């Protein structure tokens, strides 16, 4: 009985994850809140459940797998804007940090970016 229930839950998670990726691919990238709202509308699931699923997928690298090699960008609340890439065997994570449009296009490490952001030096 428990095994059947686990399989149903896994299927529902898979459908939700597919919807999340589909919405991102359609637009080429969405802000976190907009992505969550669109997926919640389409899936008829509570918004908080969808937000949790998006955060989980971001943490385990699933949002970086994109069909046809198209890349996209998403923003987690309180996170730096990143393009995350995880290899298929899920052993290595590389992150390419990108600056928001209002910042100078100089190369900053994630730590430098965080410090500037915290100090309010975003121009």
With residue 107 as reference, give the H or E element that holds it: none
Residue 109, CA distances (Å) to 13, 18, 95, 98, 115 in order: 35, 32, 11, 10, 10
- Does 48 score more than 70 pLDDT? yes
The pair of three-digit structure tokens given for residue 67, joined into one six-digit string: 């069909």
Confidence of residue 34 (pLDDT cuts 50, 70, 90): confident
- How many residues are present in the chain? 123
Condensed to tens digits (0 to 9), the pLDDT of residues 63-102 reads: 554 434 444 444 444 443 444 444 344 333 444 444 455 5
CA terminus-to-terminus distance, the chain: 58
């Amino acid at each position: 009985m428990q095994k059947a229930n686990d399989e149903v839950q896994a299927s529902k998670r898979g459908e939700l994850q597919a919807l999340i990726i589909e919405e991102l691919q359609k637009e080429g990238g969405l802000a976190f809140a907009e992505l969550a709202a669109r997926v919640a509308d389409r899936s008829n699931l509570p918004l908080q459940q969808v937000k949790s699923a998006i955060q989980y997928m971001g943490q385990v690298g699933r949002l970086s797998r994109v069909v046809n090699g198209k890349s996209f960008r998403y923003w987690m609340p309180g996170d730096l804007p990143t393009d995350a890439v995880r290899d298929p065997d899920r052993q290595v994570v590389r992150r390419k940090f990108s600056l928001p449009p209002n910042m100078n296009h100089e190369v900053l490490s994630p730590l430098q970016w965080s410090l500037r952001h915290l100090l309010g030096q975003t121009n």
